[in-house]
Amino acid sequence: MKKTSSIIATFILCYLFWILFTLTFTAQELIAGAIVSLLVALFAEKYLIHEDAFHLLKPNVLLNFITYVLFVFPVELWKANVDVAKRALSPNLPINPGIVKVPVDLQSEYGLAMLANSITLTPGTITMEIVEEDGQHFYYIHWIDVASKDPKEAGNIIKGKLENWIRRIWK
């Protein structure tokens, strides 16, 4: 049952992208797309889906996800981009790089991956490694301007609002 639902979820994702890429609604294209998507779903399902397959389609989760992708994250992205662009263009190159270890209060694999990718995408911070020690997850983050060496405070500066929003989506 669990396997079937994850195959269906992967199939829907693949088919959606097929339709968006071709955007011609002739029977030939649609049938070919369905066959290819089904084959991909059969082989790739175990790599893609590890938890509840349709979790993202619950209405409040979907709403939070869309808000995060369209509004919360772009604002952070803009701030970080302007900051790094200023650093690169300013004459005396004010950088202060270092690798810090930051605690993360997320349990879900998807949540951890999503937060790590969000941190990597904002210029100025790149996630190096995720480790687990006694049930608590830590990120090693390369940071272009180490404002604080205290793990909690550094975590607050780097993650900002992102972690709370992701916890609403993935627990």
Partner 1 sequence: MIARIIIDLFLLLGCFFAFAGVVGLIRMPDSFTRMQSSTNIATLGVLWTVLGVAIYAFMNNNIAFGIKVILIGVFVVITSAISGHAILRGAYKHGIRPDNLVVDEYRRDNPDE
Residues that bind partner 1 (CB under 8 A): 17, 20-21, 23, 77-78, 81, 84-85, 87-89, 93, 95-101, 116-118, 120-129, 140, 142, 144, 146, 149
Gap between the Cα atoms of 1 and 42, Å rounded: 14
Gap between the Cα atoms of 137 and 159, Å rounded: 14
| Nearest to partner 1 of 17, 71 (CB atom) | 17
CA distances from 31 to 27, 28, 37, 38, 99 (A): 6, 5, 10, 11, 50
Of 94, 80, 77, which is closest to residue 145 (Cα–Cα)?
A: 94
| Nearest to partner 1 of 41, 119 (CB atom) | 119
CB of 51 to partner 1, least distance (A): 19
CB of 2 to partner 1, least distance (A): 26
| Nearest to partner 1 of 87, 168 (CB atom) | 87
Residue type, position 50, single letter: H
CB of 152 to partner 1, least distance (A): 14
| Nearest to partner 1 of 3, 132 (CB atom) | 132
Neighbours of 148 (CB within 10 A): 14
